[in-house]
Chain A
Amino acid sequence: MKKKVARLSLVVSLVMMGASTGWGSNVIQTQMSSDGKFEASVISARVRGEVLTFQVLFKNVSSARDSFGFNFADVYYTDIKAKKKYYGLKDTNGNFIAGPVHYWIGGGEFRQWMNPGEKRIFWIKFPAPPQSTETVDLYIPYILPFEGIKISR
């Protein structure tokens, strides 16, 4: 009986982790890093209230363990229709509302070591574009631009 409870517990925790990270979500668009070692997939671009949240799944597609990272300050999106550009939102401590954070320099930084095939999720919050905007372009350093990302509201 204890084994059954343990198994059920594991299933519950894994399901909750999956739900919280969005790993089960559909891929909206995939791009490669400029050196071809990492793949990045936008898995969520969702507006809630006046905030747009992106979730991006990074995968090491090379055959060697390697790190990938960038400063949150360099991530932005553009709304070509309105000819506007937006940077990530910062909290009152001056840190970007994004994660996971590797260390706090310049508002925070994403940096992860990944084994071949390993994946990591990155998320960041921005001011939402106007209601009339349906697609945006997302720019992450060292990754080819994500163009025409459809946002959900």
Chain B
Amino acid sequence: MKKRKIWAALGTGMVLFLCVQTVSAEEGYKGPDDPAAVKAAQEAVNRLGPDRGAISVKGEILGIVGLKSVQIKGISVEVNKMLTDLGAKKVGEKIQVSLSGDVLFDFDKWNIKKAAEKTLYKLVKAIKGLRVKEILIEGHTDAKGSEEYNLALSQRRADAVKAWLIEKGGLEGTKIITKGHGESKPIAPNTNPDGSDNPQGRAKNRRVEIYVSLLGE
């Protein structure tokens, strides 16, 4: 009788454990000891070959490979033109490029639209012509929807731009940081003085701002 109770407890416990694991994992690997993760990791190591994907630390620290050594005062004519086309401004010691959220994303989405890629390629070309220290990508939304939702959406949009710049633009990911501000930093009123909706103002607020800090001498 006692043994049956223990077995029943073990069985139910196991079912509960599996349920929690499945729900919490949702997608991807269930945990570090998931046999699928262990197998995939070993296969990944095998694909890397004998050096296991090791990168020389010295090379990483000394400079950003592939970027021209151009000082801010000496930006080439071509880079300058691209920055002008992008509407870039100098904010303090940083170069700021503001891109419309409506150009980059569909409503309520955070995948980069195909139509936006031309602008992003131009941005990448300009960035590659600069001596970059760090790139900060900030996401902003309008005030429609809850604050928490907008904060998450703005973060996802900033992250999506970062992912694009790395994967398609070939920029160094470790130099890029992201921050979602949600609706907290509007540049235009979301409503008119009479309290009615201001769609033009809201459109201006839906944006991604990119700040490029440059290395000094």
Contacts and interface: CB of A to CB of B under 8 A. Distances in A.
A20 B33 contact: yes
B32 A123 contact: yes
Contacts of A27: none
A86 B32 contact: no
Nearest to A22: B32
A89 to B, nearest CB: 4
B107 to A, nearest CB: 18
A125 B41 contact: yes
B21 A86 contact: no
Interface in A91-136: 91-92, 95, 97-101, 103-106, 108-109, 111, 123, 125, 127-128
B13 A91 contact: no
Contact of A73 (B13, B24, B32, B173): B173
B29 A127 contact: no
Nearest to B48: A127
B43 A87 contact: no
A90 B16 contact: no
User: Contact residue range for chain A?
Assistant: 35 or more
Contact of B163 (A10, A16, A105): A105
B155 interface: yes
B158 to A, nearest CB: 11
Contacts, number: 157
Interface string A1-37: 1001110111111011100110000000000000000
A106 B42 CA distance: 21
A141 to B, nearest CB: 7
B116 to A, nearest CB: 15
A53 interface: yes
Contacts of A48: 38
Contact of B25 (A16, A51, A91, A100): A100
A152 interface: no
A104 B60 CA distance: 27
Contact of A78 (B6, B24, B29, B57): B57
Contacts of B173: 71, 73-74, 106
A8 B5 contact: yes
Residue picked from A1, A13, A21, A109, most chain B C-beta under 10 Å: A13
B37 A125 contact: yes
A106 to B, nearest CB: 4
Contacts of B90: none
A111 B155 CA distance: 10
29 contacts: A5-B8, A5-B12, A8-B5, A9-B12, A9-B16, A10-B13, A11-B13, A12-B12, A12-B17, A13-B14, A13-B17, A17-B21, A49-B42, A50-B52, A51-B38, A69-B155, A74-B174, A83-B57, A87-B53, A92-B40, A97-B29, A97-B40, A99-B32, A101-B28, A105-B110, A105-B159, A108-B28, A123-B31, A127-B45
Interface of A: 1, 4-6, 8-13, 15-17, 20-21, 48-51, 53, 55, 67, 69, 71, 73-74, 76, 78-80, 82-87, 89-92, 95, 97-101, 103-106, 108-109, 111, 123, 125, 127-128, 141-142
